[in-house]
Amino acid sequence: MKLIVFSVLLLVGCGGSTAPKSANGLIPIRLQADWFPQPEQGGFYTALAKGYYQAAGLDVTIFPLGQYSSALKVVASGGAEFGLASSDQILEAVSNGLPVVAVGATMQHDPQAIMLHKDSPVKDFAGLEGKSIAAQPGSTWFKYIVSKYKLKDVRETPATHSIANFLADPNYIQQIFITSEPFFVKNAGVEYRTMLISDSGYDPYRVFFVHKEYMEKQPEATAKFVRASIQGWQEYLKDPAPANALITKLNPAQNAAQIQFTLQALKDGAFLEGAGRMTAERWTALNEQLLSLGVVRKRIDPATAHTTKFLP
């Protein structure tokens, strides 16, 4: 069983009706993650640790993703068969001609949020008027909030992927994952509040996706990967220990307390309920939001960006 490999492999499986096998008799599949190993990817690591992929005849390799890379670009260019992203990113990618298709949701809602100090006068999204927010430049959710709440004077500053400024400045507001940064703020003894972006009405899925050509030419291998992954996600909340042990081994920056915080946040937010489930209605609604914001300029049929046919 392979875990993480940092070398670049040749694209396999896009050229025939039967997926080629490795020397071990298993079908090699590469999954490009959206960050370094962490509980937010727990279902895939459960499928590895518990042998679900191997039992399906697959030899799965999970690649970590650096800060300045993109799983969509890796998969679209043939560097992996599958990848992790959000459904708004998939729609934008498909509208730009990238050959990718979402095949299942890992989270029903995106855990991205805004973090404020407990005593901040900002009580809701409309209250961001006149404030500065440290966010990923060009974030679609930021454009949505500005548009929906008709904000005239809200400033976007580059996110630093650190809580240092937040700890030092009681007026600091920043974009976070509710499953991550609050752990460090809490440990620093600083009281905080969060506002989930999904509560504003902008509510993408977190998804895993496949290269369109691989899906079309290797439907059996695609189905095996999807179903084994969903099995992993269904088991992760019941028995997270095997995946968490593997995550800790592969990413020593993670520790037991941090993993437990993240897992509890995933449970509290019901992010992992209904593993795999996606609806056409939510994809359509999200696509219309992207069009209205001008993020997507070329209208597409959102049905071309996702499929549920491989779900168990």
Same domain (yes/no): 268, 220: yes
Asked whether residue 120 falls in the same domain as residue 99, the answer is: no
pLDDT for residue 12 is more than 50: no
- In this structure, the answer to whether residues 31 and 97 fall within a common structural domain is yes
Picking from 12, 9, 31, the residue whose alpha carbon sits closest to that of residue 214 is 12
Last residue in a domain, options 167, 200, 233:
200
Q: What is the rounded average pLDDT for all residues in the chain?
A: 93
Which of 200, 230, 253 is a domain's end point? 200
Task: Specify if 310 maps to a domain.
Answer: no
> Do 47 and 208 contact (CB within 8 A), yes or no?
no
Statement to judge: residues 49 and 65 lie in one domain: yes
pLDDT in tens, 66-116: 777 899 999 999 999 999 999 999 999 999 999 999 999 999 999 999 999
Identify the domain boundary among 200, 234, 268: 200
Instruction: Say yes or no: 208 and 105 in one domain.
Output: yes
Residue 278 lies in a domain: yes
pLDDT tens per residue across span 169-189: 999 999 999 999 999 999 999
Do 119 and 196 belong together in one domain? yes
Q: b/e per residue, 7-21, with b = 16+ CB within 10 A?
A: eeeebbbbeeeebee
238 in a structural domain: yes
pTM confidence score: 0.92
pLDDT tens-digit readout, 212-270? 999 999 999 999 999 999 999 999 999 999 999 999 999 999 999 999 999 999 999 99
The reply to whether 212 and 300 lie within a common domain is yes
Looking at the structure of the chain, the number of domains it has is 2
239 in the same domain as 90 = yes
Are 5 and 61 in contact by the 8 Å Cβ rule? The answer is: yes
In a domain, residue 5? The reply is no
Closest CA to 108 of 77, 124, 87, 91: 87
The domain in which residue 185 lies consists of 112-200
The angle formed by the CA atoms of residues 149, 151 and 152, to the nearest 5 degrees, is 155
Between helix 280-293 and helix 140-148 the angle, nearest 10°, is: 80
Q: Are residues 95 and 130 in the same domain?
A: no
Segment 266-296, tens digit of pLDDT? 999 999 999 999 999 999 999 999 999 999 9
**Assigned domain for 7 exists:** no
